[in-house]
Amino acid sequence: MAHQAAVEEASRTNIASGEFDLAFADRSYYTSQPLFEAEQDKVFARTWQFAGHASEVAEPGSFKRAKIAGQPLLVVRGEDGGIRAFFNTCRHRGAIVETRETGQCGGSFQCLYHHWRYDTLGQLRAVPMPDGYGDWFRREDYPLVQVPRCETFFGLIFVSLDPAAAPLEEFLGAMKPHLAKQYSTSGSPWEMLATYSYRFKANWKLFVENSVEGYHAPFLHHLAMRQLAGGFSIEGRALDLGIHGMIDWADTKENIEHDVRVQTHLLVFPNFLSLYHGERDVLAIRQVLPEAVGATTVRFYSLVRHDTPKEARDQVLSHFNLFWGPGGRNGADDALTMELMQEGLAAKVDAKVLVARGLDKSPVSDYYDEQPLRAFWRGWRKLMFSETNS
């Protein structure tokens, strides 16, 4: 009780503004099946979701599949050069139109069931034996259904299933300059180098929190840090950016101030993470995909600058796997810990999860504080529990 009183006293400003509640998360947020099902409609179907990088669909006719809130999507570079997203379902009997994960369609997509064929703009171009439908049937009335919103930001493709969603840049808000800084370049642009996925038995929100929380690093990753530098000593920040959040750090405060060797982890609410290692100029994306209330797939993307030679690309992949791979210095630690947390959170106890580090500080705080986590919970609670989002 004394500890609780101390936290409350130190957090008077945040209590007054209603922020104090964000310091406590109910265990059911990670373990409840009804809440997990509600998230699909209230969170993932109403926010901007990462669907790929423009370099993955660089040429007209190139495509990649995606799945957002359980919906099968197809991202396509049209013959007109534009990038669009369609629901990957045939207008005839509902089959998946494109079964390959990525590739080049050669100008059209053909459903395997009855060979209905669509062009890269989604228009229905061919129907075998059309006379059987009569005069009322017109091909132009049966295009692929386009996803309501599809926009790009410095090569990042985002989609939203919500027709009323705010424009992407408005949604990014205070995150916009930080994301732009990672992906903008005065020279060669970024492009996709490699991707892989792995699955672990824990709720998706645990991995999101882990990726923008520096407090665990010197403890959970102590062996890796000792191997790299003989210890763990960094200067960094934790930022609350509304519903988004980030941490950045370097070896010294001077390096941060002069933008030297700065590393940044950005969280675009709710599940897009962008990780930049300034010293090695390595950029990676983590897309956190919920599969079940206690199962998550994380899809990793490694990016490289377009003019990077092959030898340097191999080095980038080596570093990417060394740090962020499932068997790397940090990835295995994190995955195991998420599963242990999920198991522990199932305990039927009256004890909420504490997210209170730095509660009495400003939105820009110390690396070891939890400003980014509370920003995430602010967005999550607004969507999940707002009366206007029922």
pTM across the whole model:
0.89
**Cα dihedral sign for 161, 166, 169, 173?**
negative
The pLDDT tens digits for 70-91 are: 999 999 999 999 999 999 999 9
Q: Which two tokens stand for residue 347?
A: 């305990």
Nearest alpha-carbon partner for 277 in 342, 335, 330: 330
For residue 260, what pLDDT is reported? 59
**Closest to 162 (Cα-Cα) out of 273, 44, 271, 289:** 44
Distance between CA atoms of residues 206 and 47, nearest Å: 19
Name the CATH superfamily for 185-389.
Naphthalene 1,2-dioxygenase Alpha Subunit; Chain A, domain 1 (3.90.380.10)
Would the pLDDT of 2 be above 70? Answer: no
Give the start-to-end residue ranges of the domains of the chain: 49-160, 185-389
Q: Which residues of 251-268 are buried (b: 16+ CB within 10 A; e: fewer)?
A: beeebbeeeeebbbbbbb
**CA quadruple 256, 262, 268, 273: dihedral sign:** negative
Residue 39: pLDDT band by 50, 70, 90 thresholds? very high
Using pLDDT thresholds of 50, 70 and 90, give the confidence band for residue 229.
very low
Query: Is residue 387 helix, strand or coil?
Result: helix
> Between 324 and 294, where is the model more confident?
294
Cα separation of 278 and 145, whole Å?
A: 41
For residue 131, how many C-alpha atoms fall within 13 Å in the half-sphere facing its CB?
Answer: 0
Residues in the chain: 390
Tokens coding 306: 């377009």
Question: What value does the CA radius of gyration of the chain take, rounded to a whole number of Å?
Answer: 23
Flag whether pLDDT at 107 surpasses 70.
yes
SS3 (DSSP) at 139? helix
| Cα–Cα dist 274/211, whole Å | 9
Please say whether the beta carbons of 22 and 355 come within 8 A. yes
Instruction: Compute the half-sphere exposure of residue 380: CA atoms within 13 Å on the CB side of its CA.
Output: 25
269 residue type, one letter: F
pLDDT for 3-22, tens place per residue? 444 334 434 444 445 578 89
Q: How confident is the model at residue 60 (pLDDT cuts 50, 70, 90)?
A: very high
Domain 49-160: assigned CATH number: 2.102.10.10
